[in-house]
Amino acid sequence: MAFAHGPDDTITVEDALDPDLVICDPHHHLWTTPSNPYMLEHLEADIHGGHRVEHTVYVECLSGYRDDGLEALRPVGETEFVVAADPGGLIAGIVGYADLRADAVEDVLDAHREAGLGRFRGIRHASAWDPSPQVRNGHMNPPPGLLSQPAFRSGLAALGRTGLSFDAWLYHPQIPELTDLARAHPEVVIVLDHLGAPLAIGPYQGHRAEVLRAWRHTLRELATCPNVAVKLGGIGMPLMNDERYDGGVGSEQLAVAWGEEIRWCIEQFGVDRCMFESNFPVDKVSCTYTVLWNTFKRVTEDASSSEKAALFHDTAVRVYRL
């Protein structure tokens, strides 16, 4: 799907729609990259654009790792980093990283919980992988078939024993692997990130109808797993769109472009297993925070007040136990 650019690729600015609707943003990042920092002050500037965002959930992105000590425990530094960056508690939940294949994974989970001071909620061990060299694999450089590895599943079972959730970041051809995992571990709450990432790059570019047919078929099966919830977002990532639109697109266009797929997901999973997400600052390359949430509000303009409450706040709060 293509998007029209704004004049001279300028950023589209909008007022917040339905500004009293309470929001929990269950997916964003922080990082200290010198050329493009995104810390608490940047997040606060975005969320103060008119929408009523009361809580957020931070999701791992390799920030703040410890520089020394046991290798398996170095990701605990990310949880420490988030707590230090946000002493006020806007970030109510933290999803960190632990190598679920490690023998001592439960020790790592315990360390995360201790470092999180009551905010640590789960693990994301990204499995995004594709055989095409034109598709960049996930930031943890996962091998193919990660979710099927016995060591990985042993670590996932540890999450279930400790009451922690699992965030799944993968590409749409891998959804059947997640369905198999979810059926094998019904005791683990699993959250599928970014709509299951229907790809629009590399060999998938120009084949949108075919991609969406396959995506729908596999998501329909995944939706039969009651322990799986889905995050509705990632719209702004170039890998999911035929064209980058660099902030020049408004919420009306975005709602038309992705509304049908989002509403279809809600029909499959139900509002009690769906939650809107910002995926900021990653999606910031495409639109502002205010435009993004306006998009979601336009997509669900016909929903009831209780359905909107679930999609924008209640499901995220319940799933992440905030």
Run of H or E including 229: strand 228-232
Residue 8 has a pLDDT of: 39
Q: CA 9 from chain center: how many Å? A: 27
Least confident among 107-116, 194-203, 232-241: 232-241
Q: Where are the alpha helices (H) located in 11-75, listed in sequence order?
A: 40-47
Percentage with pLDDT > 90 across the chain: 90
How confident is the model over 7-54, as pLDDT tens digits?
Answer: 334 788 899 999 999 999 999 999 999 999 999 999 999 999 999 999
> If you average pLDDT over every residue of the chain, what do you get?
94
Query: Residues in the chain, how many?
Result: 322
Run of H or E including 274: strand 274-276
Residue 177 scores a pLDDT above 80: yes
Strand order, beta sheet including 274-276:
22-28, 52-59, 91-96, 120-124, 165-168, 190-192, 228-232, 274-276
Token pair belonging to 181: 């995992």
CB distance 312 to 24 below 8 Å:
yes
The CA-based dihedral angle spanning residues 79, 84, 89, 92, taken in that order and rounded to the nearest 10 degrees: -10
Produce one character per residue of 260-288: b if its CB has 16 or more CB atoms within 10 Å, e if not: ebbebbbebbebebbbbbbbbbbbbebbb
pTM, two decimals, is: 0.95
Residue 5 scores a pLDDT above 50: no
Residue 248 has a pLDDT of: 73
SS3 assignment, position 190: strand
* pLDDT band at 245; cut points 50, 70, 90: low
How confident is the model over 63-88, as pLDDT tens digits?
Answer: 999 999 999 999 999 999 999 999 99
Residue 238 has a pLDDT of: 85
Residue 216 scores a pLDDT above 60: yes
Residue 274 scores a pLDDT above 50: yes
How confident is the model over 89-123, as pLDDT tens digits?
Answer: 999 999 999 999 999 999 999 999 999 999 999 99
| DSSP strand pairing (190-192 vs 228-232) | parallel
* pLDDT band at 246; cut points 50, 70, 90: low
HEC states along 58-117? Answer: EECCCCCCCCCCCHHHCCHHHHHHHHHHCCCCCEEEEEECCCCCCCCHHHHHHHHHHHHC
Token pair belonging to 140: 């943890």
Residue 290 scores a pLDDT above 50: yes
Q: What is the domain partition of the chain in residue ranges?
A: 17-319
Q: CA 103 from chain center: how many Å? A: 27
Phi, psi of 92 (to 5 degrees): -85, -20
Least confident among 1-5, 99-103, 254-258, 303-307: 1-5
CATH class of 17-319: alpha beta
pLDDT, mean of residues 50-64:
98
Token pair belonging to 157: 């079972």
* pLDDT band at 243; cut points 50, 70, 90: low
Residue 56 has a pLDDT of: 98
